[in-house]
Amino acid sequence: MARLDFPKDFVWGTATASYQIEGAAREDGRGPSIWDTFSHTPGKVWGNHNGDVACDSYHRYGEDIALLKQLGVKAYRFSVAWPRIYPQGTGEVNPKGLDYYRRVIDGLLEAGIEPCVTLYHWDLPQALQDRGGWDNRETIDAFVNYAETVFKAFDGKVKMWITFNELWCVSFLSNYLGVHAPGNTDLQLAVNVAHNALVAHGRAVKRFRELGIRGQIGITHNPSWTEPYTTKPEDVEAARRQRGWQNEWFFDPVLKGAYPQFLVDWFRDTQGVKVPIQPGDMETIAQPIDFIGVNFYSGNYGRYKPGAGLFHCEEVQVGFEKTFMDWNVYPEALYKVLSWVKEAYGDIPIYITENGACYEDELTPDKKVHDAKRVEYFRKHFIQCHRAIESGIPLKGYFAWSLLDNFEWAEGYRKRFGICYTDYETLARYPKDSYYFYQKVIADGGLDV
């Protein structure tokens, strides 16, 4: 048995997102978001579920904070719903929206928990989507205005800020693959969306500095890892394209000020797609940030196969254990991602802003959930985090996804990621075994393996 100790100042946390947990979709002046529209469109979400009630955290945030306190986390990552602050995206501020987050933030601080705020976790005001959404550069101005309002409201209370969550999902998953809101299937549109949102990120960071807001600011990406199945050049190249699409396409502009040229060429030559860069954009996107957030869930092996996906890269099934999302459990890929970040971008501090697993949980009659597989998933990923720290990677913290089972986007409520079980009939929360496992790791500052 070996003992893995984490640094004393390592930030242990959990994460959630507004639309996934809040509910109260029409309360206190909240405007509709693209997720309200999408989830209320039949056939878009499993079981036609929607976030109208979700976990009702809008009313039950006190219970959530109590669970966090008992868990012993140092930080809690949650997102602000833009349509609560500006119901129409721009215009008049809705003070009741700000009040809600003030209650949450004050409650966290009282419990000794650092709030970590994500400004955009996918709930774009529908009014902005009606004018083109992220394809329209006016949305950039609207975002910066919204960000400024939230920065000023919580300056001094919130010390960790994240502009965007997972731009790969915001762009390609939502506008090319059509799986998430707004559900478009247009590659050029997806590239435009990614670019404009990256510019919005840079402009918000710039504004943050100009306003002298205290604390750190960064962005969260969702790298995945595709390992070439063989060393054949065509497999190596196919895997590189696949990784580049998920990873470099988003990391490079922010941390190097340029898109990966091999993919710019690929998009242009094979798809006729161009990046709509305007003068000054790349400098704006590359504003220095304080940390990079990494959401990590899975990885795979890929090989060249003509016609497979955008990049002629086909996944090879090599016998990984799968979660209930059908995602491979491949913890070493987390280490590979973290090593790649350090190698490619130097010593930028890294936070794992999400990591976790979906399994079919069962609530026992005495209200327990024995989620041994989720415990194993966490344990294996903690080992890789420790390995990364030992090898000199500046990994500063880890946020488990998620505090509680919630609205899992296109999968509705049937896919559970929580370390607390949500009973959607009563909205009661029940800590699972993984909650107690995590509680012990935090209390001990590490684990025995």
Is residue 123 within 8 A of residue 86, CB to CB? The reply is no
Based on the shown chain and the rule CB under 6 A, indicate whether residue 38 belongs to the binding site for ligand FCB: no
Based on the shown chain and the rule CB under 6 A, indicate whether residue 355 belongs to the binding site for ligand FCB: no
The residue (of 143 and 409) whose beta carbon lies closer to ligand FCB is 409
- Contacts with ligand FCB, 183-222, as mask; x by CB under 6 A: ---------------------------------------x
Q: Among 165-173, 258-266, 301-309, 380-388, which window interacts with ligand FCB (CB under 6 A)?
A: 165-173
Amino acid letter, residue 47: G
For every residue of 261-288, DSSP letters joined together read HHHHHHHHHHH-----PPTTHHHHHT--
Q: Among 63-71, 162-170, 201-209, 310-318, which window interacts with ligand FCB (CB under 6 A)?
A: 162-170
Residue of 22, 248, 314, 354 with catalytic role: 354
Environment class of 53 (CB within 10 Å of its CB; exposed 0-12, middle 13-18, buried 19+): middle
Whether the ω angle into residue 298 lies within 30 degrees of 0, i.e. cis, is no
Residue 209 CA to residue 212 CA, distance in Å, equals 5
The residue (of 165 and 216) whose beta carbon lies closer to ligand FCB is 165
Bridge partner residues of 164 (DSSP): 120
Q: Among 85-93, 127-135, 164-172, 259-267, which window interacts with ligand FCB (CB under 6 A)?
A: 164-172
Q: How many Cα atoms occupy the beta-carbon half-sphere of 403 within 13 Å?
A: 29
Member of 14, 50, 94, 165 binding ligand FCB (CB under 6 A): 165
The residue (of 169 and 292) whose beta carbon lies closer to ligand FCB is 169
Member of 4, 17, 124, 199 binding ligand FCB (CB under 6 A): 17
Q: Name which of 15, 24, 160 is nearest 96 in CA terms.
A: 24
The residue (of 165 and 422) whose beta carbon lies closer to ligand FCB is 165
Report the alpha-carbon angle 415-417-421, nearest 5.
95
Q: Name which of 309, 312, 330, 333 is nearest 321 in CA terms.
A: 330
Based on the shown chain and the rule CB under 6 A, indicate whether residue 401 belongs to the binding site for ligand FCB: yes
Catalytic residue check, 22: no
> To the nearest 5 percent, what fractions of the chain are helix, strand and coil?
45, 20, 40
Catalytic residue check, 354: yes
The residue (of 201 and 312) whose beta carbon lies closer to ligand FCB is 201
Member of 175, 192, 295, 328 binding ligand FCB (CB under 6 A): 295
Query: Three-class SS of residue 95?
Result: helix
Q: What burial letters (b/e) apply to 415-432, b meaning 16+ CB within 10 Å?
A: bbbbbbbbebeebebbbb
User: What is the smallest separation between the CB atom of 377 and ligand FCB, expressed in angstroms?
Assistant: 12
DSSP structural state of residue 32: P
The residue (of 326 and 343) whose beta carbon lies closer to ligand FCB is 326
Q: Among 127-135, 150-158, 161-169, 301-309, which window interacts with ligand FCB (CB under 6 A)?
A: 161-169
Q: Name which of 31, 35, 24, 119 is nearest 79 in CA terms.
A: 119
Q: How many Cα atoms occupy the beta-carbon half-sphere of 102 within 13 Å?
A: 12
Based on the shown chain and the rule CB under 6 A, indicate whether residue 409 belongs to the binding site for ligand FCB: yes
Nearest residue (beta carbon) to ligand FCB? 17
Give the number of residues in contact with ligand FCB, rule: CB under 6 A: 12
Give me the active site residues, please: 166, 354
Q: What residue ranges bind ligand FCB (CB under 6 A)?
A: 17, 20, 165-166, 169, 222, 295, 354, 401, 408-409, 417
